[in-house]
Chains A and B, each alone.
Chain A
Amino acid sequence: MFRNSLSVRSITSINNIITTNAYRSLATASIQSNITSDLTPLKINSNGSRDLYAIFKLHNIPYLVTKGDKVYLPFKLKNAKVGDSLKLNNVTTLGSPEYTFKVDQGINNELYELKASVVEITKEPYYEVYRKKQRCRRLKTFPVEPFQTVLMINELKLT
Chain B
Amino acid sequence: MPVKAIARTSISRNGVGAFVSPCYKISVNYCNWGGSSTGLRELLNAGKIDKIAQEKSNIIFEVIKRTGHPSLKFHYNNDVVQDINIANLKAHEIVNKLDEYSQRSGNDLFKFNHRVLSINDSVRGVWSPLHTPKTHRHKI
Contact = CB atoms under 8 A, between A and B. Distances in A.
B111 to A, nearest CB: 5
Nearest to B112: A72
Contact of B118 (A18, A69, A123, A126): A69
B109 A124 contact: yes
Contact of B105 (A53, A97, A119): A119
Contacts of B133: none
Interface size class on chain A is 35 or more
Main secondary structure of the interface of B (DSSP, over half): loop
B46 interface: no
A61 B114 CA distance: 12
Contact of B19 (A18, A66, A97): A18
Given A18-B18, A68-B13, A122-B103, A96 B123 contact: yes
A83 B21 contact: yes
Nearest to A72: B112
Interface in B92-140: 100, 103-105, 109-112, 114-120, 123-125
A95 B123 contact: yes
Contacts of B103: 81-82, 120-122
A4 interface: no
B68 interface: no
A67 interface: yes
Contacts of A20: 58
Contacts of A124: 109-111
A70 interface: yes
A98 B140 CA distance: 30
A93 to B, nearest CB: 11
Interface of A: 18-20, 46, 51-53, 61, 63-72, 74, 81-83, 95-97, 117, 119-126, 148, 150, 152-154
Given A61-B115, A70-B118, A96-B123, 11 more contacts: A46-B123, A64-B115, A68-B119, A69-B117, A69-B119, A70-B116, A72-B116, A83-B19, A120-B103, A124-B109, A125-B110
18 contacts: A65-B116, A69-B116, A69-B120, A71-B115, A71-B116, A74-B112, A83-B21, A95-B123, A97-B123, A117-B16, A119-B15, A119-B19, A122-B104, A123-B109, A124-B109, A124-B110, A148-B112, A152-B19
